[in-house]
Chain A
Amino acid sequence: MTEANAISIQNLTKRFGHFTAVDHLSLEVPVGQVFGFLGANGSGKTTTIRMLTGSLTPSSGKAYVLGANVAKRVAEVRRRIGYMSQKFSLFEDMTVEENLRFYGGVYNLDPDEFAARREYILDMADLRGRESELTANLSVGWRQRLALGAATIHSPELLFLDEPTSGVDPLARRRFWDLLYELAKTGVTLFVTTHYMDEASHCNRLAFINSGRLVAEGTPNELRAQHNGATLEEIFTKLSTN
């Protein structure tokens, strides 16, 4: 494990009773990369992320995030990572402003820091003028951008995004990914799960999992070459059906 890896996991395993959701998964994610984590429904993506964020205790194996052992230094890890969960992470009965303020509060930002981050996020997510709108009334694309803002309010070094663009129209997806690239340019490592292969092809590296096991890993081009020039969709289908 070196500091050059934002994430380093060894034989990470999670069993729910007799069912193994994540099965001896080993993976390295270099700092500063956009890393795509792919797999069919129920293949164990969310479970892996939950172990990496310390929300779930692994049955066995080790996970290092930003150089720290998650099992031992969870508080430190959490201060430095951001997480946008698969479920909707905003409060619909609260306004844009109130949501940001809430996450600023739980991340313990001081007022100056919060004010600066708030400005930045409102611009980034194009939410200026909508500060007092209820989140429930925002369109899905806007909500996702707000959720991204909330998840990055404390300027994390590593961001986990669990299917951030599900249910978002193609245009809004494009805008969302533009924001992700902006973040990546500032040096933030992104760990993204998605079911959209066009999004996957924009990642620096990809990992495919099936039934909790790693089945392929590499850059999109490497993977295509390994599979005789097949498209990512074809590779996904092939890797997920056996």
Chain B
Amino acid sequence: MLNRILAITGKEFLHLWRDPRMLAAVLLMPVLMLLLFAYAISFDIRNVPTGIVDMDNTPTSREYAQAFDASDLFNVSYRADTISGVDAVIDEGRVSIVLVIPKGFGKDLLAGLTAEVGVYVDGSEPNSGRVSRAAALALTTQYNRELAVRWADLNGVDISAVGGLEPLMRTWYNPELKSSDYLIPGLLVVIMMIVTVQQTSVSLVRERAQGTQDQITVSATRPTELLLGKLLPWSILALTEVGIITLVSKWLFNIPLRGNLFAFALGTFIFVVCGLALGMLISSFCNTLESANMMAIVVAFLPSFLLSGFVFALEQLPEWIQWLSCALPVRFMVELTRDVFLKGAGFAEVLPEMSFMLIFAVLAITLAAHFYRRRLR
């Protein structure tokens, strides 16, 4: 059994290796997309107009504020020692990020306690909000202290807990979702979809169309062995690429990977299985490479593009599309990824998404197996 699966897997890798265009599409495209992001981001990461509210006013807090000032990411154009004026300067657009150092910051830090700072971000401005948040985090790390950065974003950290601040009534959230925090999880999902759904369906259909599937079947290779052998390479590739993108997004883009990495890995695995099952399903319907390709674009590529925040925020789409999106695993994988990356989710929080994808995977595999068996009749 293993022998056969490995023979088939080896052959699949040979096909890939001998087809430079395919190899490029699979291996280079994700890197290219990431680099495009890097380029887009390098535009606006400099000189973010920044306000600093130092309510502590100790040598430690001033030193910390100084680190912000010294960085060319931030251009500190507003200083105050109370929170009262912040609303106005953000509204006027004078600053797009405000760092709030609460009273007791220096004392806590010296006492070895976890000090807290508040970061108010104007999320209504595309990109800069994201950059600032990431950069604030970066600076916190750079400052080499144990700081818990509290973000006053829509996701509701209790601001009043941070130095008695009142939360500002603003959109602490980017309604267009145009930020790499949101885009990179989307990118991950799109790439996984391409590698799993499109490549598997095309590779399965090709095997059948060129007649070699018949030949392999007659060698007493069971359909399961053939499928496993053909799906294995794409699973390996998809998981490898997820790994690379995750590392790069953390390292290059400072996307906070705050949640449980294992929850993310398990979610990814289930999603890959969903993708492979979808690919199988498509290949059981299509007889030509062209139709398989088209179908993959319709079922896999478009939804993952449309529902991943690349183009629209899901919330802005018509309600029926939102409902429709529940029929595909993409939406849930995007949510899972964001929850884990941005909101620090663990297994418990992403259980609903995982369960849905698991149900989808089981259903799709059952259907695909059914249609595959029917083709033999």
Contacts and interface: CB of A to CB of B under 8 A. Distances in A.
Interface stretch (B11-19, B162-170, B333-341): B11-19
Interface residues of A, number: 32
Contacts of A53: 218
B8 interface: yes
Contact of B11 (A57, A89, A94): A94
B219 A103 contact: yes
Interface in A49-63: 50, 53-57
A106 B221 CA distance: 6
Contacts of B216: 106
Contacts of B211: 85-89
> On chain B, which size bracket covers the interface?
20 to 34
A198 B352 CA distance: 69
A85 B220 contact: no
Given A57-B376, A98-B14, A106-B7, A78 B215 contact: no
A73 to B, nearest CB: 11
Contacts of A107: 219-220
B217 interface: yes
Interface string B211-236: 11011111111100000000000000
Interface in A76-127: 78-79, 81, 83, 85-91, 93-94, 98, 101-108
B14 A89 contact: no
A104 B211 CA distance: 18
Given A57-B376, A91-B15, A106-B221, A85 B215 contact: yes
Most buried by A among B4, B15, B212, B220: B220
A226 to B, nearest CB: 34
B4 A105 contact: yes
Given A85-B211, A87-B210, A98-B14, A54 B218 contact: yes
Contacts of B377: 56-57
B250 to A, nearest CB: 37
Contacts, number: 77
Contacts of A98: 11, 14
Nearest to A75: B220
A86 B218 CA distance: 13
Contacts of A74: 220
Nearest to A54: B218
B83 interface: no
A57 B376 CA distance: 7
Contacts of B220: 74-75, 78-79, 107
Contacts of B215: 83, 85, 89, 151
Nearest to B217: A55
Interface string A39-57: 0000000000010011111
Given A78-B219, A81-B218, A85-B214, A105 B6 contact: yes
Nearest to A82: B218
Contacts of A87: 210-212, 214
A103 B7 CA distance: 8
Contacts of A81: 218
Given A102-B7, A102-B10, A50 B214 contact: yes
Contacts of B6: 105
Contacts of B217: 55
B42 interface: no
Nearest to A16: B377
B3 interface: yes
Nearest to B9: A105
Most buried by B among A57, A88, A89: A89
Most buried by A among B7, B218, B376: B218
A93 B3 contact: no
B212 A106 contact: no
B259 to A, nearest CB: 42
Nearest to A134: B18
B210 A106 contact: no
A232 B370 CA distance: 46
Nearest to B373: A57
A151 B219 CA distance: 9
A66 to B, nearest CB: 13
B19 A93 contact: yes
Contacts of B212: 87, 89-91
B3 to A, nearest CB: 5
Contacts of B210: 87-88
Nearest to A109: B3
A81 B219 CA distance: 8
A174 to B, nearest CB: 25
A98 to B, nearest CB: 6
Contacts of B18: 93-94
Contact of B218 (A83, A94, A105): A83
The 7 nearest A-B residue pairs measured at CB? A105-B7, A87-B211, A78-B220, A89-B215, A93-B18, A83-B218, A106-B219
Given A94-B18, A98-B14, 10 more contacts: A53-B218, A75-B222, A83-B214, A83-B215, A87-B211, A89-B212, A91-B15, A102-B7, A106-B7, A154-B219
12 contacts: A55-B376, A78-B218, A87-B214, A88-B210, A90-B212, A93-B14, A94-B15, A102-B7, A105-B6, A105-B8, A106-B221, A154-B219
Interface of A: 50, 53-57, 74-75, 78-79, 81, 83, 85-91, 93-94, 98, 101-108, 151, 154
Interface of B: 3-4, 6-8, 10-11, 14-15, 18-19, 210-212, 214-222, 376-377
